[in-house]
């Protein structure tokens, strides 16, 4: 006979369902449920409370940047946009390739296009094509370097030449062919006598407008004009015809900048000149003049901050020539930015930044093109490019 109360056996079914044990188990279960509901309720209240607190500026900025990047990743078709350069002589061919190299280094996503003189380049016999147009073998090598090393699309065009009061800008009208590049939705035309300090891809996403240009702030307040050394264009047949008509009707003292202002001064989208249109001469300005660049007379001039925020820097230091032409040391020293005394201490920051810009340009030109300064005979016998 097997004993039912053996100490080695567990509780029987009858024991488990006895009233006393049932009450114990029910109480334990209810306690666990209550505790679980309490914990979940605290978590819910904490989450609700967090949603009521205003997010910090940093979190807003980070979230906004992330959402913008994610949105643009799928929306922007970069094949519809292009950076545009035009070339009419050896000087600007080298400068353009330097600019394309910088676009390549900054990882710009838009296409890169160079408009060059038709007939200059022939895939089957580039040397013969160059000689027929008065170009040199080195120029053809540079053109192929742009195509092969920096993914530049070469577009042959007819150089636009007009008889003008100053022959310096006689062929600058070629820039206006940007309005005829209808294979793209938008092109960003950049003068090549410049330094690119960062990608400008964000400009392609500006609101729609036939043209966007910065203000020529250095002329204010005497003249209120738009500048054409950087311009975002929406090519179209109609707009190109308007530009062509205005060019043909322009006087001898009207150049590309004047023509564009005649057409678009009151309707163009304005690109902020701070960051996108810094002139080297700004570092040579005297105290009080910087308000024209800063846009107000309350902000303190900080040359380091201005340089660090800039993305496109244009060489403009009249009466100094363009940096590839070279200049006598005594003239450069005479015209370089002056040191200033502030709070009893001498500061030469503007001078150091300005000289560094020129020094870097010469070093890059030597590396990219094989020479920092154009040979004297090219300067003496070639087309003047001072402007």
Note the pLDDT tens digit of each residue in 123-152. 566 666 666 566 777 888 899 999 999 999
247 in any annotated domain: yes
Cβ neighbours for 74, distance < 8 A, ≥ 6 positions apart: none
Q: Is residue 145 part of a domain?
A: yes
In a domain, 216, yes or no: yes
Q: For residues 87 and 117, give the distance between their C-alpha atoms in angstroms, rounded to a whole number.
A: 7
Q: Quote the pTM value.
A: 0.74
> Would 332 be classed as within a structural domain?
yes
3-state secondary structure of 293: helix
Q: Is the pLDDT of residue 3 over 60?
A: no
Please write the tens of the pLDDT for every residue from 245-290: 988 887 776 778 999 999 999 999 999 999 999 999 999 999 889 9
Highest mean pLDDT among 27-41, 46-60, 125-139, 305-319: 305-319
Q: Do the domain assignments include residue 68?
A: no
Residue 192: give its domain's CATH number. Answer: 3.90.550.10
Classify residue 24: in a domain, yes or no: no
In this predicted structure, the answer to whether residue 52 has a pLDDT above a threshold of 80 is no
pLDDT (mean) for 303-329: 93
Residue 235 has pLDDT above 80, yes or no: yes
Q: Tell me the pLDDT tens digit for each residue of 82-115.
A: 999 998 887 789 999 999 999 999 999 999 999 9
Q: What is the tally of structural domains in the chain?
A: 1
Q: Return phi, psi of residue 112, to 5°.
A: -125, 125
With respect to residue 53, please indicate whether it lies within any of the assigned structural domains. no
Most confidently predicted of 156-165, 231-240, 339-348: 231-240
- Per-residue pLDDT, 365: 93
pLDDT above 60: residue 63: no
Is the pLDDT at 195 greater than 90? The verdict is: yes
Whether 210 and 236 have beta carbons less than 8 Å apart is answered as: yes
**Domain of residue 109, residue span:** 77-381
63, part of any domain: no
Read off the pLDDT of each residue in 23-43 and give the average, rounded to a whole number: 55
Instruction: Burial-class residue 291 by CB neighbours within 10 Å (0-12, 13-18, 19+).
Output: middle
């Amino acid at each position: 006979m097997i004993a039912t109360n053996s100490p080695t056996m567990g509780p029987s079914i009858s024991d488990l369902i006895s009233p006393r044990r049932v009450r114990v188990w029910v109480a334990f279960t209810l306690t666990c449920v209550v505790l679980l509901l309490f914990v979940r309720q605290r978590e819910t209240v904490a989450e609700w409370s967090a949603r009521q607190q205003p997010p910090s500026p940093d979190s807003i900025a980070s979230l906004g940047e992330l959402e913008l990047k994610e949105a643009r990743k799928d929306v922007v078709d970069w094949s519809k946009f292009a950076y545009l350069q035009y070339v009419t002589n050896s000087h600007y061919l080298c400068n353009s390739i330097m600019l394309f190299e910088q676009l390549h280094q900054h990882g710009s996503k838009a296409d890169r296009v160079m408009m060059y003189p038709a007939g200059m380049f022939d895939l089957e016999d580039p040397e013969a094509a160059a000689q027929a147009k008065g170009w040199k073998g080195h120029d053809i090598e540079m053109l192929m370097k742009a195509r092969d090393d920096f993914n530049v699309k070469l577009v042959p065009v007819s150089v636009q030449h007009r008889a003008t009061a100053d022959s310096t800008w006689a062929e600058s009208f070629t820039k206006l062919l940007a309005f005829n590049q209808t294979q793209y939705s938008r092109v960003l035309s950049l003068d090549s006598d410049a330094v690119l300090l960062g990608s400008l891809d964000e400009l392609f996403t500006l609101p729609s407008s036939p043209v966007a240009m910065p203000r020529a702030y250095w002329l204010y307040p005497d003249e209120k004009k738009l500048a054409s050394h950087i311009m975002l264009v929406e090519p179209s047949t109609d707009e190109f015809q308007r530009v062509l008509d205005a060019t043909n009707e322009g006087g001898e003292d009207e150049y590309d900048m004047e023509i564009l202002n005649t057409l678009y001064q009151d309707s163009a989208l304005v690109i902020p000149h701070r960051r996108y249109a810094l002139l080297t001469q700004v570092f040579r300005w005297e105290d009080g003049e910087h308000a024209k660049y800063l846009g107000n007379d309350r902000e303190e001039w900080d040359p380091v901050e201005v340089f660090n925020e800039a993305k496109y820097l244009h060489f403009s230091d009249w009466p100094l020539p363009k940096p590839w032409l070279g200049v006598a040391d005594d003239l450069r020293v005479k015209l370089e930015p002056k040191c200033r005394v502030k709070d009893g201490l001498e500061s030469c920051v503007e001078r150091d930044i300005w000289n560094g810009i020129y020094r870097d340009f010469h070093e890059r030109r030597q590396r990219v093109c094989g020479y920092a300064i154009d040979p004297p005979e090219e300067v003496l016998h070639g087309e003047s490019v001072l402007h």
